[in-house]
Amino acid sequence: MHPADLIQGHEQTWSWLLLGLTGAVVLAFAVLFLSALVSILGSRLTGGMKLVWVIFAFCAPFLGSLLWFAVGRRDASLPARR
């Protein structure tokens, strides 16, 4: 086997690995975003607060989804104040 063939084979392996890793990251991001939207819409928040969280999730999808699970979801589970 010629050394150039080995180099080409390694390049192809790395490109497939990079493509698979990129696909896994995109899939994980999509699952995080969609689960945040489902969780927001199913929460006990008022309609206005749900709208704020949904808009925030669409404007900053990664940060909005993370903040929802870190802060918003916990606030949504607290009893309503009167």
**Residue spans per domain, the chain:** 28-77
Burial 25-41 (b: 16+ CB within 10 A, else e): eeeeeeebbeebbebbe
The answer, yes or no, to whether residue 51 has pLDDT greater than 90, is: yes
Torsion of CA 27, 38, 66, 51, to 10 degrees: 130
Banded model confidence at residue 38, pLDDT cuts 50, 70, 90: very high
pLDDT of residue 2: 64
pTM of the model as a whole: 0.74
pLDDT mean across residues, the chain = 86
Q: What is the pLDDT of residue 4?
A: 62
Q: What is the pLDDT of residue 14?
A: 86
Is the pLDDT at 7 greater than 70, yes or no? no
Calculate helix-pair angle for 47-59, 3-41, nearest 10 degrees: 170
